[in-house]
C-alpha cells in the first residue's frame, strides 16, 4: 500500500480485505513469532504509558461535556428571553460556555502535535521502546509504507498522513483496544480516529524482511539452515519417547524448543539461527511421524 512507485511499497488502492493488517497485529508480529505473546508484551508497554494521558483525557472530556451542557441551557434561555434585558447576558454566556467546551479539544490538539506543524516526531512523555520506534520509523518516512483506515460507508481505504505518527501519544495507535486509540486525535483535525488502523499485508512483510539482521559472508553464501542435521540429532533424543503427542499443539511447541536449542548450540561464527516460525513445519512433520509410530504400536 502506498509509497512511491519503485520504492518497494504497495501503491495505494482498494482491494481484498484479507490484505488489511491492523497496526496492533503488525507490531505484535515484529515483537514475537507467537502473536499472543507479542500482543501481551506490547500491551504492557502501552499500559505503562497510559496513566497520565488517560487522566488528562478524562478530565478534558468532563470539562467539555459540562460546559457543552451549560451552553445548551444558556442557548435555550437566549431563545426564550426574546428582547428582554437578559438577552445580552444569555448571549455572552452562551458564547463563553461554547468556547470553554471547545478549549479542551484545542488543548489536546496542541499537546499531541504542538502549536505548529511538526517537522519531526515530538518528545514522548514516557520511556521509549526500541521496537515501537523501529516500526514508527517506517511510518514516519516520506517514502515509507502508508497506514490507512476504512471509511464506514463505502469501505474504501483512506490514507493517513505520516505526521499522524509524530504526536506524543503515537504509541497508543498500536493498541488493540479502541479506547486507547480514541485518545489520539486525527492529524491535522481534532476528530477522533476510527476503530482500526491498517497496513497492507505486503508492506508488513516487507518491513519484517527489512528488520531481520542480515547474514555475514557476502554474496554467494549458502543461507540454508542445517535442518537435516538438527532433525537427525533429535532422532536419538530420549525426550522424544516421552513426548505426549496427544496434545499436538503443545508437542509441536516442545519440538520447536528442542530444535531451537540445537541451532543455538551449533550456530556458526555469524550466530545466525532460524526463527521459531521457520521451525514450525519441521516440528509438525516430526510430530506427525511420532503419531504414526504411536498409532502402529497401539494396534
pLDDT in tens, 185-221: 888 776 777 678 999 988 888 888 777 654 444 433 3
Sign of CA dihedral 109, 115, 119, 123: negative
**Chain segment 106-135, per-residue pLDDT in tens:** 878 888 888 888 888 999 988 899 889 999
Among 3-17, 18-32, 53-67, 84-98, which range has the highest average pLDDT? 18-32
Q: Quick check: pTM over 0.75?
A: no
Q: What's the CA angle centered on 99, arms 96 and 105, to 5 degrees?
A: 155
Q: In 22-86, which ranges are continuous DSSP H helix?
A: 23-31, 35-49, 51-80
Whose cell is 543455538? That residue is 264
Evaluate whether 184 touches 196 at the Cβ level (below 8 Å): no
196: CB partners within 8 A, 6+ apart:
22, 23, 149, 150, 178, 181
Which residue from 145, 183, 217 is spatially nearest to 52, judged by alpha carbons? Answer: 183
Domain definitions of the chain by residue range: 17-30+119-211, 51-113, 227-293
Residue 214 C-alpha cell reads as 542480515
Instruction: In whole angstroms, give the CA distance from residue 192 to residue 190.
Output: 7
- How far, rounded to the nearest angstrom, does the alpha carbon of residue 240 sit from its chain's CA centroid? 38
Amino acid at each position: 500500500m502506498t509509497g512511491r512507485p519503485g520504492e518497494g511499497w504497495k501503491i495505494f488502492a482498494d482491494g481484498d480485505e484479507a490484505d488489511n493488517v491492523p497496526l496492533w497485529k503488525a507490531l505484535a508480529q515484529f515483537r514475537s513469532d507467537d502473536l499472543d505473546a507479542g500482543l501481551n508484551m506490547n500491551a504492557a508497554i502501552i499500559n505503562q504509558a497510559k496513566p497520565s494521558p488517560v487522566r488528562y483525557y478524562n478530565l478534558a472530556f468532563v470539562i467539555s461535556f459540562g460546559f457543552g451542557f451549560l451552553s445548551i441551557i444558556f442557548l435555550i434561555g437566549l431563545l426564550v428571553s426574546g428582547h428582554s434585558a437578559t438577552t445580552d447576558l444569555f448571549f455572552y454566556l452562551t458564547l463563553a460556555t461554547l468556547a470553554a467546551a471547545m478549549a479542551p479539544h484545542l488543548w489536546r490538539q496542541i499537546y499531541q502535535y504542538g502549536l505548529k506543524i511538526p517537522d519531526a516526531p515530538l518528545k514522548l512523555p514516557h520511556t521509549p521502546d526500541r521496537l515501537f520506534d523501529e516500526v514508527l520509523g517506517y511510518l514516519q518516512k516520506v517514502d515509507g509504507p502508508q497506514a490507512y483506515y476504512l471509511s464506514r460507508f463505502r469501505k474504501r481505504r483512506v490514507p493517513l498522513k505520516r505526521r499522524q505518527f509524530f504526536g506524543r501519544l503515537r504509541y497508543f495507535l498500536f493498541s488493540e483496544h479502541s479506547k486507547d486509540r480514541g485518545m489520539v486525535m486525527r492529524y491535522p483535525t481534532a476528530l477522533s480516529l476510527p476503530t482500526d488502523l491498517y497496513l497492507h499485508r505486503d508492506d508488513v512483510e516487507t518491513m519484517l524482511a527489512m528488520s531481520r539482521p542480515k547474514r555475514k559472508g557476502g554474496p554467494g553464501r549458502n543461507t540454508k539452515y542445517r535442518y537435516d542435521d538438527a532433525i537427525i540429532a533429535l532422532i536419538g533424543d530420549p525426550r522424544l519417547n516421552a513426548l505426549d503427542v496427544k496434545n499436538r499443539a503443545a508437542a509441536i511447541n516442545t519440538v520447536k524448543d528442542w530444535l531451537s536449542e540445537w541451532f543455538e548450540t551449533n550456530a556458526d561464527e555469524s550466530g545466525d539461527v532460524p526463527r521459531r516460525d521457520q521451525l514450525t513445519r519441521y516440528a509438525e512433520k516430526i510430530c506427525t511421524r511420532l503419531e504414526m509410530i504411536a498409532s502402529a504400536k497401539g494396534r
